[in-house]
């Protein structure tokens, strides 16, 4: 896991400086890098395409942006950070006094050394983001202002990667690829998704896993609009975000509150002994609110470390690669691995010998336990599985009711099914 954490952190560092937004070449460059690790199916959806109650916007690209003082020195420069330009700024080339320019400058007075992240996606506007300390040091006078951007008909870009499973039922894993120069939100989520997909591909999972790399909000809405006829395959889902900060793990339940993914994350986090928090669903946050909108009501929860807007570095220049640690990335990956292992092994069974306790000895099941140090636990696991194999309880129910580890319950079910005593 240490090696995986370091590799994920290196991927975050590589993705971090790209000039991303909800559309444009920065998204494509991000997906190109992800595509070096995973085969991707990339989708380009034209501007003007109706998607549910929305419309795919014009594509935005920026090549250069700066504010220069009378000497020509760039006091705000896109080349220094992708955060310095207001996202989706219309082009501008002008000279103006500081008094006029101030109306287009965004700062964080309460965090004067940091640059904020700001956007204006659906209202034509232009502007710059800078530290309050820099603004306070600017003398009165005339400044050159230039934003070399284009806002024109183009495409919204997103990508999918599918890990085939034994069944067509899908686990949807979603992360957003639109934020520029923000490491935890959300290049950490992208990195964890990439390594999780690679791990799943090394084995044949039970479920089919679909990884969605899309811009926030409009990307999820576009995917839902283009997949309305097949979203019924989504049996479980997880939105990954803020996956690399030093905080403990937080899981936000789906709208349903008791979906399989909700039960599994609750169980896995409790059994792991990790510090964690389980939160109820709210219709605000990341793309879980799109997947859980009432018309779809998909069983999708959200996994973060510190939730959005609850750490001071959120949406500021302090959310840089130094804020993200390999250990935190590795721990988030481990939580996902543990949860998906439970998802893939969880079944409902029916006993084929439900009248009285079946004789385990003549089927060799007791003999198989003879040399095991956990023979008593394994025996109890078999008895619990047999007793609750009524078609109405899944293995997670059995584990929680018995107090035994889920893996012990799943191993017992495998042994009993192999002996002809259970049917899935």
Annotated binding-site residue numbers for Zn(2+): 179, 185, 315
By C-alpha distance, which of 275, 322, 283, 321 is closest to 300? 283
| Upper half-sphere CA count for residue 368 (Cβ side, 13 Å) | 16
Residue located via tokens 């991927």: 11
What CA–CA distance (Å, rounded) separates 126 from 128?
A: 7
Q: What is the largest CA-CA distance in the chain?
A: 94
d(CA 297, CA 208) in angstroms, rounded, equals 20
Residue 364: other Cβ atoms inside 10 A: 12
CA distance 373 to 365: 15
CA-CA distances (angstroms) from residue 413 to 165, 340, 350, 400?
20, 18, 11, 15
d(CA 103, CA 118): 14
Binding residues: 179, 185, 315
Q: Beta-carbon neighbour count of residue 16 at 10 Å?
A: 20
Parallel, antiparallel, or unpaired: how do β-strands 59-68 and 74-77 relate? antiparallel
């Amino acid at each position: 896991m240490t090696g995986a954490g370091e590799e994920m952190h290196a991927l975050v560092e590589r993705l971090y400086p790209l000039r991303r937004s909800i559309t444009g070449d920065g998204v494509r460059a991000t997906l190109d890098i992800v595509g070096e690790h995973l085969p991707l199916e990339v989708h380009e959806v034209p501007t003007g395409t109706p998607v549910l109650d929305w419309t795919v916007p014009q594509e935005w690209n920026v090549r250069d942006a700066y504010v220069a003082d009378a000497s020509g020195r760039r006091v705000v420069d896109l080349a220094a950070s992708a955060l310095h330009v207001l996202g989706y700024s219309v082009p501008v080339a002008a000279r103006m006094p500081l008094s006029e320019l101030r109306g287009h400058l965004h700062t964080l007075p309460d965090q004067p050394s940091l640059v904020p992240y700001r956007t204006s996606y659906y209202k034509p506007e232009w502007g710059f983001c800078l530290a309050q300390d820099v603004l306070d040091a600017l003398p009165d006078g005339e400044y050159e202002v230039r934003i070399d951007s284009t806002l024109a008909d183009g495409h919204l870009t997103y990508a999918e990667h599918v890990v085939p499973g034994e069944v067509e039922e899908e686990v949807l894993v979603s992360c957003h690829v639109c934020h520029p120069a923000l490491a935890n939100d959300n290049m950490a989520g992208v990195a964890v998704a990439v390594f999780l997909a690679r791990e799943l591909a090394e084995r044949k999972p039970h479920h089919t896993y679909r990884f969605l790399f899309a811009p926030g909000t409009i990307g999820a809405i576009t995917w839902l609009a283009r997949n309305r006829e097949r979203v019924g395959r989504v049996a479980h889902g997880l939105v990954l975000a803020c996956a690399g900060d030093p905080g403990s793990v937080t899981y936000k339940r789906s709208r349903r509150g008791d979906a399989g993914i909700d039960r599994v994350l609750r169980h896995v986090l409790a059994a792991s002994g990790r510090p964690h928090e389980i939160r109820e669903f709210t219709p605000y946050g990341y793309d879980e609110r799109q997947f859980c909108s009432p018309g779809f009501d998909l069983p999708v929860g959200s996994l973060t470390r510190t939730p959005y807007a609850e750490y001071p570095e959120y949406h500021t220049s302090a959310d840089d690669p130094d804020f993200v640690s390999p250990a935190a990335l590795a721990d988030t990956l481990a939580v996902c691995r543990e949860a998906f292992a439970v998802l893939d092994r969880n079944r409902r069974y029916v006993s084929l010998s439900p009248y009285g306790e079946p004789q385990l000895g003549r089927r060799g099941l007791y003999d198989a336990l003879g040399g095991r140090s956990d023979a008593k636990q394994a025996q109890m696991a078999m008895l619990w599985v047999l007793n609750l194999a009524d078609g109405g309880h899944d293995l997670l129910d059995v584990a929680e009711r018995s107090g035994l580890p889920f893996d012990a319950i799943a191993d017992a079910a495998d042994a009993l099914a192999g002996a002809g005593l259970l049917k899935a």
